Chain A
Amino acid sequence: MLGSAVIIFREVLEAALIIGLILAVTRDIPGRTRFVFMGIAGGVGGAVLLALFGDWIAPLAEGMGVELLNASILLAAVVMLSWHLVWMKKHSYAISHHIKEMGSKIENGEQSISIIAFIIGLAILREGSEVVLFLFGLSAGGTSAISLLTGGLLGLFAGALAGVVVYFGLVRVPLASLFRLSGWLIMLLTAGLAAQASSFLVQADILPALGNQIWDTSQFLSEKSLLGQFLHILVGYVAQPMGIQLLVYLGTIGVILALMYLVANPPSQRVVATSAASLLLGFVFMFASDPARASHKIYSPHVDEGEAELEMRAHTTFDSNAGKNSNEKMKFEAGYGVNSKWFTSIGGEVADNANHRHEYQATYWENIFQLTEQGEYWVDVGAYLEYEVGHGAGSSDKIETKLLLEKSVGKYVNTANLVLVRQVGSNASNATNFEYAWRTKYIMSKRFEPGIEIYGEIGEVGHALPSAQQDHRIGPVMSGVLTSTHRGKWRYELGYLFGTSQAAPDGTLKFNLEYEFRL
């Protein structure tokens, strides 16, 4: 009896915490009680139906019906919760800008109230159907009705109690600060649910895992412990996360923050359309193309104070040799010009592993230091320092330093990077390798800057590799501004590099998309 109580407690906990949180946040909306009960009734009813029709759903989609259903329920909740967050932001924007019409609608609670019923219903639906099946199975297995009832009620009661504790904990917080606090709480909860949905989609073989285990903190805090489970539900804690879970978690937060920013700073239709188109282009490139080993980017020694940057870089290679063909690499990073001399950014890398599977492989911290003022001397000089933490088995950390040189002659801009790379930590080879990169571009217009880029990896300092084993690539590149407003601008870069040494792949396609804005 106690065993079944514990299991039911676990299954009920998620729904109870979500409901507790939502109730606390929406406590100022009049007439919500009806919707809360509608949500609970709908969720419980749906759970029973789901349990009854489980045998019918399970074989769908080649036996992955339940996974798809779970992912769909979770994603629906993610959409609803994100919508709720964006709505709350709009609400506070409307109040602060005295938009009366908007404000009165909110006082009536028209817009947000029915969503409460849906969120609560969805929270109960998924785990609820498992509780029903579990109790069903126990009764079929001959467990007495009394024992079943007490076990079930005990678990339900304990789970609900946890929800009540969360509710009363949050209700004590004054509404104004609760709005801010709960906004963050709901955002992390939503990101956690999205990551959970991605896990189901991996199980259904629709999404790639991108690394089975990026880290393991199960010794430190097990997901099975009470605290671990609380954190799993509330902030999406996972002891052994897959790469995709990490990516989806961070991506969800990014998208919600972007939407919240957009409702508070509404942009013009044209900007929305172009931004959406560029993002789409980026994703199509990422997923449709088979994307490269080394990262091909030229760094300029100039730092722009107060400028923030979001960047996505993708590479893929082409070669008749399978080992050098379609080596893909993608980098996602966010950076900021702290002052006029220092630009810093942090990023993550997804790349093919030895078995041509995408894997979240590294997290890195990049820094660019502008050492001379632009035009102060014959050549502009800067320094670059990067520390990269490698994830996964057999990986090592990496320190990369670059000397950045740039010289403008009329409309031609010449940039050279001299690079030293050294592996550090476990599995590190004790070599320091030398690499170089060169770009000459012609500023035809802001939107179109054609140029040529050259990259080379020579080998260990003092022990250059035989020329056939060195990696040299050269090719045309075009870059420029896709669209810009007073708020920010989208920059693109597209290039194709030909391999000029035996070790280099025949072709490398590179594509970068960048959004620059001022905070």
Chain B
Amino acid sequence: MQTMYKQLIVSVFCIGSLAYALPAAAIETVRMSIKDHTFQPAEITIPANTKVKLLIRNQDISPEEFESDALHREKLIPGQTERVIFIGPLDAGSYEFYGEFNPKTAKGRVIVK
């Protein structure tokens, strides 16, 4: 058990440092906000086969979880904070997303051209 914990800590640390070592390339940033439990804008268009940085600012007081099965992303965005989500590179098409905490109002899609 002892050695296992050590290995565990080491591997967690390795994953962490790997993330820091990754080069930060110039990536196009798309901004979006959450207001009154809706995404604004609810539809964004990005180029195909390109990685894009999605910067989402939650202007509500309550938290929201950005979730998309098509994009394979889920990220909690606490009230009045900003979070980053990288999406792509993707094939052309339409990818739906929604807010898990307010799925009726918070809906949107990413159009990839």
Binding site for B on A (CB under 8 A): 7, 10, 54-55, 58, 61-64, 66-68, 71-72, 75-76, 79, 83, 111, 114-115, 130, 133-134, 136-138, 140-142, 199, 201-206, 209, 212-213, 218, 223, 239-240, 242, 355, 357, 393
Contacts and interface: CB of A to CB of B under 8 A. Distances in A.
B106 to A, nearest CB: 12
Given A130-B65, A141-B60, A212-B91, A75 B19 contact: no
A223 B20 CA distance: 33
Contacts of B65: 130
Contact of A72 (B15, B63, B81): B15
Most chain B beta carbons < 10 A, residue from A136, A137, A201, A206: A137
Given A206-B15, A355-B49, A62 B89 contact: no
Given A66-B75, A79-B4, A141-B60, A134 B101 contact: yes
B84 interface: yes
A199 B72 contact: yes
B91 A203 contact: no
Closest 8 CB pairs of A and B: A63-B84, A137-B62, A61-B19, A137-B63, A141-B62, A72-B12, A141-B61, A355-B49
A142 to B, nearest CB: 8
Contacts of B76: 54, 66, 130, 133
B1 interface: yes
B4 A83 contact: yes
Given A66-B76, A133-B76, A205-B22, 6 more contacts: A54-B76, A72-B16, A133-B78, A203-B75, A203-B86, A355-B49
Interface string B49-90: 101000000001111010001101111101101011110011
Interface of A is mostly: helix
B8 to A, nearest CB: 6
A133 B15 contact: no
13 contacts: A62-B84, A64-B86, A68-B19, A71-B15, A75-B15, A111-B1, A133-B63, A133-B76, A199-B72, A205-B22, A206-B19, A206-B22, A239-B69
B94 interface: no
A54 B20 contact: no
A58 B77 CA distance: 10
A55 B81 CA distance: 8
A223 B81 CA distance: 28
Nearest to B84: A63
A76 B81 contact: no
Contacts of A141: 60-62, 79
Contacts of A136: 63
Contacts of A209: 72
B24 interface: yes
Contact of B18 (A7, A62, A206, A213): A206
A204 B85 contact: no
Given A133-B63, A205-B22, A140 B79 contact: yes
B89 A355 contact: yes
Contacts of B12: 72, 75-76
Given A7-B100, A64-B84, A355-B49, A134 B63 contact: yes
Contacts of B78: 54-55, 133, 137
A239 B100 CA distance: 17
B70 A213 contact: yes
A202 B101 contact: no
A204 to B, nearest CB: 6
Contacts of A393: 91
A205 B86 contact: yes
A339 B112 CA distance: 51
Nearest to B11: A75
A213 B90 CA distance: 10
Among B18, B63, B70: residue with most chain A CB under 10 A: B63
Contacts of B22: 62, 205-206
Nearest to B81: A55
A58 B61 CA distance: 18
A380 to B, nearest CB: 46
Contacts of B86: 64, 203-205
